[in-house]
Amino acid sequence: MKVAVYPGSFDPLTLGHLDIIVRSAKLFDKVIVAVLRNVEKKGLFTIEERVKMIKKLVGKYGNIEVMSFEGLLVDFMKSVDSQIIVKGLRIGIDFDYELQMAHMNRKLSQEGVETVLMMASTEYSYISSSSVREILHFKGSIRGFVPEEILGEIYEKVGIDGGKVE
């Protein structure tokens, strides 16, 4: 069984992230969305909130799981018996970073882990979690950047009345 891991902070999950998750689920027997718990960063959402929102979005797919982790990705990969990392690429600078990480993860795993890079769909190639957080900071509308199913939760978290920005 081919198990792929799609790691990230997903703070918040965007339409681009969801697109990569769903497309990966068509290629692999099982996809684990691995939500990074970064103890050095204060996220917009707690790890539990992020996992819950993602589960809400992917619950209808039988081959997608959502888990959280902290520490080295290669250690998590070992714990879920996977040797495939899926990463999404939006722009050229993403490639430079992900190439470095792919080599690092392959070396750390003693050549056991491979990284599959998926190009972002054109309609989502400009969306990032950081840009969504910046829009939220200035009380702007994020409709069309994040899945509709979690839009209300995001607005509620930052104290925005969704009806006023739409």
**Catalytic machinery residues:** 17, 41, 90, 129
Contact between 145 and 136 under an 8 Å Cβ cutoff? The reply is no
156 is in an annotated binding site: no
6 is in an annotated binding site: no
Supply φ then ψ for residue 84, to 5 degrees: -125, 120
61 is in an annotated binding site: no
DSSP 3-state of 72: coil
73 is in an annotated binding site: yes
90 is in an annotated binding site: yes
What are the structure tokens assigned to 51, written together? 């996992």
DSSP 3-state of 23: helix
CA 148 to chain centre: 16
125 is in an annotated binding site: yes
Indicate the annotated binding residues for ATP.
9-10, 17, 88-90, 98, 124-130
Indicate the annotated binding residues for substrate.
9, 41, 73, 87
Indicate the annotated binding residues.
9-10, 17, 41, 73, 87-90, 98, 124-130
